Amino acid sequence: MMRRLARQRRFNKNKHCNVANERGGRGYEIPVRLDKTCGPEIRQCTGRFAVKYDTAEWDNGILRKMFADDTGMCGRQEERYFRMKITNYVQEFITDDEKPFDSAHASTLLELHDGSILAAWFGGSWEKNPDVDIWTALRVNGVWEQPVRVASRRGIAMWNPVLFRREDGTILLFYKVGKTIPEWVTYYMESKDEGRSFSAPQALTEEGQGGRGPVKNKPIRLSDGTVLAPASLEGELWDAFVDISKDDCRSWTMSGLIPLRRVAITEKGVHNVQMIDRPYNKHYIYGKGIIQPALWEDAQHNVHMLCRSSSSRIFRSDSLDGGKTWSLAYDTGLPNNNSGIDLVKLGDGRLILVYNPRENLPGYYKGPRTPLAVALSEDNGETFRIIKVLEDQRGDYCYPAVICNDKNKVMITYTWKREKIVYVSFDIEED
């Protein structure tokens, strides 16, 4: 116990201010892009800093209170930043307790032409097990139909479905097949009846194993018609890239890997880096690297990505040539404990990010995947401010997928305790 406390004090002394809370506990400040958060539970918050408490104090409600209201900004400060409100809020499970699988994870969703919702995920006894298949469900007239198994291969696991629509209206369902992540082969199926049925699976490329095509998050269509699929490779090291299609998802060309400046790597591979006493440099990646990009195109037709990282922060890279080449990845300051994220651009150019705003504690690799929050950016991803907390209890709430329509209706799915998939929708209106 004394050793742990000593390490905590050293971390605070060398990196951040040691902060007292009203219960007499101690926490530490971490850099985040939440601008001037404040409240009764936070004694010292200035600029880009917010207090972070340990897991035990989270359970006692200290950190949860920071995200207690609908704004996620310690409510009293919200009016300084936004002239908007969330309306028509819906939050519901896709399946009931009689679901035909024990575990569900890695969901995706698509709005259909009639306003219905098509969702997909992988489900079985547990991730990686040979009984894990790809499932879909339709939400018609506000009611979820029973889930349907659409892809299965005896004795081998299925992973990470992603939905996308071609310009001709065909729905594509991408997914991975493999016993382990480095062994993944990407397949896809087509639906011409709005998700009621799918064609036989086809391999995405003939280039063998790896994370080709959309690895978790949806592709985006650029203003010139090019489709970019956010892709990544997970082996001894993690690397992100994009797959580029000029023919509406019929063939793909792999971009170069996103440049990284890794530290703590030896000839034998990656060390399990302790998150204390580390030098800060926005270009440093600690641990394996970055995976699972989320993409958007800005008004100047430049492309950007946010990535999950092993460095307890969300990292970013930018492209000036339509995704062919990318900048050196850099730390955004957004906390994230190595958990999946997703992002979508609204019709007015603002960005919606769904993520776990939780930085690793010293010596921890992931920690609890809670809270799960929605954040909004009005400056092309330079800063984000939390506008809604989806989950704030102890548990595993993660791997979000987010889309929107031309009416600024936001739709989200995410994993609930590895047991179910949750669907959320709301409208963003000017106040």
Token pair for residue 95? 């399946």
- Give the best-scoring range by mean pLDDT among 59-68, 124-133, 201-210, 257-266: 124-133
CA distance 4 to 1: 5
Same structural domain, 165 and 237: yes
Instruction: Answer yes or no: do 156 and 28 share one domain.
Output: no
In this structure, the answer to whether residues 104 and 33 fall within a common structural domain is no
Specify whether 50 is located in the same domain as 109: no
- pLDDT for 75 equals 28
Give how many domains the chain has, as a whole number: 2
- Residue among 322, 316, 339 nearest 259 (CA): 316
Domain boundary among 71, 92, 115: 71
Pair type for strands 385-391 and 372-377 = antiparallel
Residue 8's pLDDT is 33
CB-side exposure of 151: number of CA atoms within 13 Å? Answer: 30
Specify if 55 maps to a domain: yes
Percent above pLDDT 70 for the chain = 75
The helix/strand/coil state of 44 is: coil
Same domain, 175 and 268: yes
pTM of the model: 0.82
- Cβ-contact 27, 52 below 8 angstroms: yes
Domain end among 47, 71, 95 = 71
Does 152 lie in the same domain as 122?
yes
CA–CA distance, 387 with 320 (Å, rounded to integer) = 30
In a domain, 233, yes or no: yes
Q: What is the CATH number of the domain that holds 273?
A: 2.120.10.10
If asked whether residues 332 and 211 sit together in one domain, one would say yes
Within a domain: residue 76?
no
In angstroms, the CA 244 to CA 321 distance is 12
Instruction: Give the whole-angstrom CA distance, residue 287 versus residue 268.
Output: 13
Structural domain includes residue 77:
no
Whether 78 is in a domain gets the answer no
Give the tokens for residue 139: 């939400």
Whether residue 232 contacts residue 262, with contact meaning beta carbons closer than 8 Å, is answered with no
Question: 40-49, 82-91, 310-319, 378-387: which range is least confident on average?
Answer: 40-49
Q: Look up the domain containing 35 and give its range.
A: 2-71
Same domain, 387 and 280: yes
Are 54 and 119 in a shared domain? no
Among the candidates 40, 71, 102, a domain finishes at 71
In a domain, 125, yes or no: yes
What are the pLDDT digits (tens) for 74-117?
Answer: 222 333 345 678 999 999 999 999 999 999 999 999 999 999 99
